[in-house]
Amino acid sequence: TIQLNLLPKLVQTQNQETFYNLLWIFGIIVLIFVIVLIIIIFILKYNRTKKKSSTPPPECVPFDLTPKVLTMEMQMPIIP
């Protein structure tokens, strides 16, 4: 009975070790996956905000050009 009790314990410990190793590997993979997902989300958000600021819609383009026109108009009456 002692030998029969010892053998299953050895098998159980080996199975538990492999199970814990698999759990560690799975946990590390999940952590890496989550980190990659967070990085991708941040990059997408940053790109969306960057695209909005770098490429303004056509409505903003005349506003960007108007200050030059306004400064020219403001300077014209000052000259005479």
For the stretch 11-52, pLDDT in tens is 566 677 888 899 999 999 999 999 999 999 999 988 877 655
If you average pLDDT over residues 45-72, what whole number do you get?
58
Q: Are 56 and 64 in contact (CB under 8 A)?
A: yes
Higher pLDDT, 21 or 72: 21
pLDDT of residue 45: 87
For the chain, domain boundaries: 2-78
Which residues does 56 contact at the CB level (< 8 Å), separation at least 6? 64
State the Cα–Cα distance between residues 60 and 29, nearest whole angstrom: 46
What is the residue type of 71? T
